[in-house]
Chain A
């Protein structure tokens, strides 16, 4: 025994050392990346010319637009437009039409409102500058105060500039000019492209901390996890049959000492239940992290989502992980439900747990919908209005349900807070309770459904050590997959709902429900909203719920197998429902010809 334990000690120590090394390396990666970004931003800020008005005007500074080579394309183009169009009136450093700036024009043109081009008798290509009109500065302390953020500045420029011919700028050009003006104003982050979905996070009255690209760090983490997964698989391949008895830790104790090997076959369970638990954990952690920055008010909700997505270090990762885990959960639990029916596993004493599971499916749909609405951007507006108006169509209790969900006569002030509370507290808490009950019932009902011991072909048993190792392996692989998707496929976001977007009617193009409700949206095209949008989905749910209570069930000896003979009718019903949902979704997605 002595040499073995010594060997084991040594191995444990080596593993510990390795773990510490990895941890230090990760910390370094995480720390170094932002540091480097900060260092370079400091250099940039000293190297960009911060020309102050000098007593004698240096005309050289007007020769060409000021463009630092490391600026974004958007900023460079903005600098050119500003130099060519805006500078004459707003000044080369955004000072406005000051006396000092007019001195630069030469004696003839100094009095803009009297000279040829801008006097009362201006030629056709000129225009009048009224003497009483102050041409505002666009940069400098306490300037641009009428705009809260880059989005508002952009909207103003797009609608009102250039002053003599408003509306000639394209959306793209307005962004370029906005970007350049904000850099004159010294609040524009470096290497940052303004868009409809991040500009509300860029403030005009103070510079937000320079965001850094954290994708290299995330990819490093993904790579390390992938290597760890390969290592775990390699360890499993050279399985040591006479392993020294380990002492079970906390996580081992959450499992029974051994389970029948039949219950742990991947081709039977598809790992869907376990994966769902893992995804729920990720959703819980990332959701809590999002709560630190999310502000549940109509003015701030979408802006705070922009802050999370484009400014907070690893914020985009957090949000993408939350989004993709939610989408994956929807798919995984659907597969889990299909598996349970198609293997007849819900029979007899397991049917209560089947109902609990269906309840959780409904909760997940509600959680997905409320979470989607919390974006409070233009993308969710019609889904919110349709979804809540559907509640109104329910006879007798409709109006009351609507008020309960929305908190007012129409989606407005109170609604974000309502949806926030439904999402992060009521639904989540119910989900945790039902989830714990569901897992407890799995154990109480004797684990995953397999034939009784005397009718099994294989009576081998799997220890909890092997079970936990498999679970961890699946978690690591799923984690790698999620991280990878989260780096390359950002979660959808559109511009915030504001009074301006409502007035402009910005959002009309986006009338699509979240993907898991597209089949309902297609059904709603058929007619009566209550029948197709509320009653039919509820009937489908009831059909699913009464399967174990009405239709024939599998025999015990048939358990643990796909497509057993005993519950064929239930299998056919569930396959038909699944096909109908998929076909309706596809019909919706086929583009229809416009008249």
Chain B
């Protein structure tokens, strides 16, 4: 430390100050660009009267997207969003297939074939007081 000349010391401190202001500026830019104006997507969907989903039915609700199943255990739903990279899977006779990278799932959403490694998510379905079904995606 002793053998730094006054000139070098000044130069070093000036440059560090410039670098610091640059880093602060980049930090500000990051915060500026990270602001989220859009609302968070809904996590609860009203999908209409329970009577529209009779027992032993499997109904695709495209805008969630999910498939609503009514069986002996009651109502439940499987997400149709592929757990690999988020495309909407399509129904096949073996279950579901993703059109983007060909992941396959059985009718209960369990992985049959990669690249996907996680099963399709299960959504909770509850009947509200007015008789409508609500799907909860969280």
Q: Are A385 and B115 in contact (CB under 8 A)?
A: no
Q: Is B48 an interface residue (CB 8 A)?
A: no
A529 to B90, CA, bound (A): 20
Partner of B101, one of A400, A408, A524: A524
Q: Are A526 and B115 in contact (CB under 8 A)?
A: yes
Q: Give A407-440 as 1s and 0s: 1 = Cβ < 8 Å from B's Cβ atoms.
A: 1111011100000000000000000000000000
Q: Are B87 and A408 in contact (CB under 8 A)?
A: no
Task: Name which residue of chain B comes closest to A390, CB basis.
Answer: B85
Q: Is B84 an interface residue (CB 8 A)?
A: yes
Q: Are B115 and A524 in contact (CB under 8 A)?
A: yes
Q: Give A385-420 as 1s and 0s: 1 = Cβ < 8 Å from B's Cβ atoms.
A: 110011000000000100110011110111000000
Q: Give A486-518 as 1s and 0s: 1 = Cβ < 8 Å from B's Cβ atoms.
A: 000000000000010011110011010000000
From residue B19, how far is it (CB to closest CB) to chain A in Å? Answer: 21
Partner of A525, one of B63, B94, B115: B115
Q: Is B62 an interface residue (CB 8 A)?
A: yes
Q: Is B38 an interface residue (CB 8 A)?
A: yes
One of B28-36, B51-59, B71-79, B127-135 at the interface = B28-36
Partner of A527, one of B34, B38, B114: B114
Residues 78-121 (chain B) with a chain A CB within 8 angstroms: 84-88, 90, 92-94, 97-102, 114-115, 117
Q: Is A382 an interface residue (CB 8 A)?
A: yes
Q: Is B3 an interface residue (CB 8 A)?
A: no
Q: Are A412 and B38 in contact (CB under 8 A)?
A: yes
Q: Is B138 an interface residue (CB 8 A)?
A: no
A389 to B86, CA, bound (A): 7
From residue B75, how far is it (CB to closest CB) to chain A in Å? Answer: 20
| Chain B residues, Cβ within 8 Å of A212 | none
Partner of B100, one of A403, A521, A527: A521
Partner of A414, one of B38, B88, B93: B38
| Chain A residues, Cβ within 8 Å of B63 | 499, 502-503, 505
From DSSP, what is the main secondary structure of chain B's interface residues? loop
| Chain A residues, Cβ within 8 Å of B101 | 521, 524-525
A503-B62, A504-B62, A526-B115 known; A595 vs B37 contact (CB < 8 Å): no
Q: Is B65 an interface residue (CB 8 A)?
A: yes
A527 to B115, CA, bound (A): 4
From residue B97, how far is it (CB to closest CB) to chain A in Å? Answer: 8
Q: Are A505 and B102 in contact (CB under 8 A)?
A: no
Q: Is A528 an interface residue (CB 8 A)?
A: yes
Q: Is A592 an interface residue (CB 8 A)?
A: yes
From residue B59, how far is it (CB to closest CB) to chain A in Å? Answer: 12
How many residues belonging to B are interface residues under a CB distance threshold of 8 Å? 30
A382-B87, A509-B99, A529-B84 known; A403 vs B115 contact (CB < 8 Å): no
Q: Are B36 and A408 in contact (CB under 8 A)?
A: yes
From residue B27, how far is it (CB to closest CB) to chain A in Å? Answer: 12
From residue A115, how far is it (CB to closest CB) to chain B in Å? Answer: 35
Q: Is B40 an interface residue (CB 8 A)?
A: yes
Task: Name which residue of chain B comes closest to A385, CB basis.
Answer: B86
From residue B36, how far is it (CB to closest CB) to chain A in Å? Answer: 5
Q: Are A409 and B100 in contact (CB under 8 A)?
A: no
Q: Are A414 and B30 in contact (CB under 8 A)?
A: no
A403 to B114, CA, bound (A): 28
Q: Are A505 and B62 in contact (CB under 8 A)?
A: yes
| Chain A residues, Cβ within 8 Å of B87 | 382, 385-386, 511
Q: Are B36 and A407 in contact (CB under 8 A)?
A: yes
A579 to B88, CA, bound (A): 32
Residues 13-70 (chain B) with a chain A CB within 8 angstroms: 30, 33-34, 36-38, 40-41, 60, 62-63, 65
Task: Name which residue of chain A comes closest to B89, CB basis.
Answer: A508
From residue B137, how far is it (CB to closest CB) to chain A in Å? Answer: 12
Additional A-B contacts beyond A504-B62, A524-B84 (13; CB < 8 A)? A382-B100, A385-B86, A385-B87, A408-B38, A409-B40, A409-B41, A410-B41, A414-B37, A508-B99, A524-B115, A527-B114, A595-B93, A595-B97
> What are 15 inter-chain pairs, A to B, with CB distance below 8 A?
A382-B87, A382-B88, A407-B36, A409-B36, A412-B38, A502-B63, A508-B88, A511-B99, A511-B100, A521-B100, A521-B101, A528-B117, A594-B92, A595-B93, A595-B94
8 tightest Cβ-Cβ pairs between the two chains A and B: A505-B62, A408-B38, A511-B99, A511-B100, A525-B101, A386-B85, A389-B86, A527-B115
